[in-house]
């Protein structure tokens, strides 16, 4: 296979959870532009529909399905619908995340469990539903979108001068996601299923100037990530270009975790 073909995803069917938001839209766009058919699944069918319509106007093969990651029946129904509609499922990108976590002193068991139902249990159930189909078809590719906070603890000094902070649950769950990735990679590798993580650093969304200044000073490349920075890594991990990589956590962080 020629080098320029290693990164193509023509004929591949991908399912991206939360595939229209901050990380989700560039992830979906990157896969689509590489030739994949991408099913974007999330709770807000209106927002998904708008993203899909935008992609289809460009001639890209996008589809939409409603998904509630806190509901096991919804997860099962979406995976089954993808397989029935397209005959297979080659790529799963676990990107969706529930937010609303708090600092330790302010967190409650009820809120912790609400978030974990999506970020932990939902992640596990999505993998559980997808893996049997990938085994049956002889292989597949699972990509989990983790975070720099799944590799290092939060650097709270970057929040100085703002009312921003990092919630407790986020670090806990992203470390767990990385561990799950390595477990699944080792267990299902012999059956042709690759499982990897992509761990982005901070993403620019017009944050307060003190945070941006602090963050950029801490990052060797001197800036936050943007949409283009997500496209290359997701296509690399989804394609034959990374065919001998599994159980890996790819840091896409401008060097944040080098320190």
Residue spans of alpha helices (H) in the chain: 3-6, 24-33, 45-57, 72-86, 109-116, 123-137, 168-188, 209-218, 227-238
Phi then psi for 30, rounded to 5 degrees? -60, -45
List 170, 183, 204, 244, catalytic entry: 170
pLDDT at 205 over 90: yes
CA count, 13 A, side-chain hemisphere, 120:
14
Q: What percent of the chain has pLDDT over 90?
A: 90
Paired tokens of 52: 């899909």
Q: Which residues share a beta bridge with 145?
A: 198
pLDDT at 44 over 90: no
170 annotated active-site? yes
Of the pLDDT bands very low, low, confident and very high (cuts 50, 70, 90), residue 73 is: very high
Domain boundaries, the chain: 3-251
* CA angle at 185 for the pair 183 and 187, rounded to the nearest 5°: 70
Mean pLDDT over residues 14-29, rounded?
93
CATH 3.40.50.720 fits 3-251, yes or no: yes
pLDDT at 69 over 90: yes
- DSSP for 15-36? EEETTTSTTHHHHHHHHHHTT-
| Cβ pair 36, 12 in contact under 8 A | yes
- Chain mean pLDDT for the chain: 96
Mean pLDDT over residues 253-257, rounded?
97
Of the pLDDT bands very low, low, confident and very high (cuts 50, 70, 90), residue 20 is: confident
| Cβ pair 133, 140 in contact under 8 A | yes
Mean pLDDT over residues 173-202, rounded?
98
What span, in angstroms and rounded, lies between the C-alpha atoms of 96 and 126? 11
Res 1: pLDDT:
83
Question: Each residue of 135-176: pLDDT tens digit?
Answer: 999 999 999 999 999 999 999 999 999 999 999 999 999 999
Res 17: pLDDT:
97
pLDDT at 127 over 90: yes
Please give the helix or strand (H or E) that residue 14 lies within, else none.
strand 13-17
Strands laid side by side in the 140-145 sheet: 62-66, 37-42, 13-17, 91-94, 140-145, 193-200, 249-252
Q: Which residues share a beta bridge with 249?
A: 197
pLDDT at 133 over 90: yes
């Amino acid at each position: 296979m020629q080098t320029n073909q290693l990164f193509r995803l023509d004929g591949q069917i991908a399912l991206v959870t939360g595939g229209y938001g901050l990380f989700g839209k560039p992830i979906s766009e990157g896969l689509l532009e590489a030739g994949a058919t991408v099913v974007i699944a999330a709770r807000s069918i209106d927002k998904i529909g708008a993203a899909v319509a935008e992609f289809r106007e460009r001639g890209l093969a996008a589809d939409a399905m409603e998904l509630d990651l806190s509901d096991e029946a919804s997860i099962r129904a979406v995976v089954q619908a993808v397989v029935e509609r397209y005959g297979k499922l080659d790529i799963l990108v676990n990107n969706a995340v529930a937010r609303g976590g708090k600092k330790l002193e302010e967190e409650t068991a009820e809120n912790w469990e609400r978030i974990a139902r999506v970020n932990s249990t939902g992640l596990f159930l999505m993998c559980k539903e997808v893996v049997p189909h990938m085994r049956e078809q002889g292989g597949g590719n699972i990509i989990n979108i983790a975070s720099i906070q799944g590799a290092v603890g939060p650097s709270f000094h970057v929040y100085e001068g703002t009312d921003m902070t990092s919630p407790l649950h986020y670090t806990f769950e992203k470390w767990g996601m990385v561990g799950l990735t390595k477990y699944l990679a080792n267990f299902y590798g012999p059956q042709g299923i690759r499982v990897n993580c992509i761990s982005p650093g901070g993403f620019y969304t017009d944050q307060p100037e003190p945070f941006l200044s602090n963050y950029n000073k801490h990052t060797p490349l001197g800036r936050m990530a943007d949409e283009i920075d997500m496209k290359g890594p997701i296509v690399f991990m989804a394609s034959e270009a990374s065919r001998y990589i599994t159980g890996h956590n790819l840091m896409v962080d401008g060097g944040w975790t080098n320190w």
